[in-house]
Amino acid sequence: MAAFGTGAGRPLGGRGGSAGFRFTLYALLSVIMMYLDQRAHYLEQVRYVLQAAAYPLQLAVNSPPSAWRFLKESVQTREELQAENAQLRASARDLELRAMRYEALARENGELRGLREALPPVADRWLPAEIVNIQLSSLRQRLLLNRGAANGVFKGQAVLDDKGLIGQTTHVGPWSVEVILITDPEHAVPVRVDRTGLRTIAVGAGDSTSLALPYLPANADIRTGDLLVSSGLGGVFPEGYPVARVTEVHRDAVQPLAQVRAAPLAHVDSDSEVMLVWFRADHPAAPAPTASAGGELKSGNPALQPQPAAPKSHAAPQGGAPHEPATPHEPAAPPSHREPAPLPAQQTAAAQAPEAPPSVPAVEAAPAAPAVPGQGQP
Amino acid sequence: MNADSRTRLLLTALVALILTVLPLPRWLDVVRPAFLVLTVLYWSVNAPRAGGLAIGFFAGLMLDVFQGPVLGEHALALSLVTYIAVREHQRIRSKPAIQQALIVFPALMLYELVLFMIDGWSGHPVTSPLRWVHTVSGALIWPPAAAILGYGAGHRA
């Protein structure tokens, strides 16, 4: 055995000794890379390049499913298309009915809050993105989208679908971006119970159908069926977007904390398209900067701050140009901070976006806009 | 001969990488063996000159890009396992496939242990026992995988 062992080194000749040396070299290199990536984030550029190199392979891996989808769509029968069309028309009517009073409510809300103007919607710009690759293991819940820095996507950007929050962007490549889902075990989203206003944190459980709320005391006022919305803290998600619905509340007499589970509202595992969102940084409902979570109101646009006492008479002169909240030509002050001349089409798209799923043609115009505006985010 | 086994190696590594990143349903994803690790191990044992440490390191780097929280994590784990495989290649390849599987199993455990420790150190701890499942499935799939990789090969150096 020993003779065999010594013989084992010989076939590799002079490299027998250098294998250990080379291993030390590679190990050192890996450790240095890990250190730089972890501590100092020096490797963003390296990752950027590597991600660009990996993208073709990821596209290739995704091609069979997308080819199948394409095939299925192209051989759909007339009846199926008609049925789908009818269904879409019904849902559009439904959404229009629901959005009908939106403008009036937005103005009323502004007056109640003592604002001079109704707030513009917090979402500034939407960009639909296709899911290229999806990882839904218990260790990692990630998506890869077909948008990247070339489209103005930035790190820590909120990703939504038409039902609720999906996650946020982590590694941005030139044409692709990795999204960490709210259900990833490493992800936590600050939420608020819509019924009571109770704030807590929803942590991913490594399962695309459940979130855990591990920090609620046993006597917290929370029930099955409660809606959780984002609380606006944490610096990524704006306030008030639906996140999950509580499915299970378990109180144990000997445990100081309640065990609460919630089901995310977004259809993480069945979506094929999601939305990347840019928010108005100076909007009160915008995500609070992490540095000063409490200073969110002070850092905002003065025009949007609560005024001491809004004269009631403001409500009386009904209609009037200055009070039409969704009119693109009356951009309630804040856009002056942003790019010089927002296209009216974009403005309307943004105005309609939060209520109804954005009308597609208007959103398609968005990518043409300069890539900068989103970067206003801290 | 050397060039031939090198192209074979790169080709199989590419296929293994695709199998690794292919989206799968959840239950299949848990038992999915680390195909790229198995492929690198196979070539380290059977053609240590063509493969070896460089392949291990760069394959690990690719894994890092696709699924690593920290760049360099899989690279370190895979170079370690590759180094051991290259050093012991004569001893391992003289064994029948079933026995090789018994050696591959602790190698995969070591690989996962390194990942586990780095995950913990870098602040991405995933303590679910499910992360160890692939070491078992990897060892189980070793005999057929080795047969496929070595199909019609004259690469025994």
Instruction: State the DSSP string of A212-259.
Output: EETT-BTT----TTPEEEEESTTSSSPEEEEEEEEEEEE--TT-SB-E
Q: Which chain B residue has the Cα nearest residue A62?
A: B22
pLDDT of residue A33: 86
- Which one of B2, B18, B53 makes the best mutation probe of the A interface by having the most chain A beta carbons within 10 Å? B53
Whole-angstrom distance, CA of residue A244 vs CA of residue A225: 9
Mean pLDDT across chain B: 85
Per-window interface: B 71-90 vs A, CB < 8 A: 71-73, 75-76, 79-80, 83, 86-90
Task: For residue A38, list chain B residues with Cβ-Cβ distance below 8 A.
Answer: 70, 122
Mean pLDDT along residues A233-258: 88
**CB pair distance less than 8 Å for B118 and A5:** no
pLDDT of residue A227: 93
Q: Give the count of alpha carbons within 13 A of A228, CB side only.
A: 30
Whole-angstrom distance, CA of residue B100 vs CA of residue B150: 14
Domain range list for chain B: 2-149
Q: Is A34 on the interface with B (CB under 8 A)?
A: yes
Place of tokens 């969110």: A296
**CB pair distance less than 8 Å for A61 and B86:** no
pLDDT of residue A201: 93
Q: Which of A135-149, A241-255, A355-369, B31-45 is least confident?
A: A355-369
User: What's the predicted TM-score (pTM) here?
Assistant: 0.66
Percent of chain A with pLDDT over 90: 15
Per-window interface: A 236-275 vs B, CB < 8 A: none
Whole-angstrom distance, CA of residue A127 vs CA of residue A147: 9
pLDDT of residue A373: 38
pLDDT of residue A205: 86
B130 — pLDDT class (breaks 50, 70, 90): confident
**CB pair distance less than 8 Å for A186 and B124:** yes
**CB pair distance less than 8 Å for B53 and A186:** no
Q: Is A138 on the interface with B (CB under 8 A)?
A: yes
pLDDT at B70 over 90: no
Q: Which chain B residue has the Cα nearest residue A4?
A: B91
Q: Which of A30-44, A202-216, A313-327 is least confident?
A: A313-327
A325 — pLDDT class (breaks 50, 70, 90): very low
Task: For residue A11, list chain B residues with Cβ-Cβ distance below 8 A.
Answer: 90, 157
A203: closest CA of chain B, how far (Å): 13
Question: Higher pLDDT residue, B39 or B127?
Answer: B39
Encode pLDDT of A152-190 as tens digits. Answer: 898 889 998 888 899 999 888 888 898 999 998 889 999
Q: Which runs of E-coded beta strand occur in chain A?
A: 123-136, 141-145, 158-160, 165-172, 177-181, 188-193, 199-207, 210-213, 227-231, 239-250, 259-264, 273-279
Encode pLDDT of A118-133 as tens digits. Answer: 666 777 788 989 888 8
Mean pLDDT along residues A345-362: 38
As for the ipTM of the complex, it is 0.83
pLDDT at B112 over 90: yes
Mean pLDDT across chain A: 72
pLDDT of residue A200: 92
pLDDT at A328 over 80: no
- Which one of B65, B94, B130 makes the best mutation probe of the A interface by having the most chain A beta carbons within 10 Å? B65
Encode pLDDT of A8-18 as tens digits. Answer: 444 444 444 57
A4: closest CA of chain B, how far (Å): 8
How many CB atoms are located within 10 Å of the residue A7 CB?
A: 10
CA distances from B72 to A119, A169, B22, B118 (A): 47, 21, 22, 10
pLDDT of residue B2: 62
pLDDT at A296 over 70: no
Question: Of A294, A168, A298, A284, which is closest to residue A237 (Cα–Cα)?
Answer: A168
pLDDT at A311 over 50: no
Q: Is B60 on the interface with A (CB under 8 A)?
A: yes
Angle made by CA atoms A249, A251, A254, in degrees to the nearest 5: 160
pLDDT at A340 over 50: no
Are the beta carbons of A362 and A126 closer than 8 angstroms? no
Q: What are phi and psi of A243, to 5 degrees?
A: -115, -55
Q: What are phi and psi of B60, to 5 degrees?
A: -65, -35
pLDDT at A236 over 50: yes
B94 — pLDDT class (breaks 50, 70, 90): confident
pLDDT of residue A17: 53
pLDDT of residue A353: 37
Q: Which of A13-22, A115-124, A288-297, A322-331 is least confident?
A: A322-331
Helices (H) and strands (E) in chain A, counts: 8, 12
**Range from A168-177, A336-345, A364-373 that averages highest in pLDDT:** A168-177
Task: For residue B80, list chain A residues with Cβ-Cβ distance below 8 A.
Answer: 23, 27
pLDDT of residue A307: 46
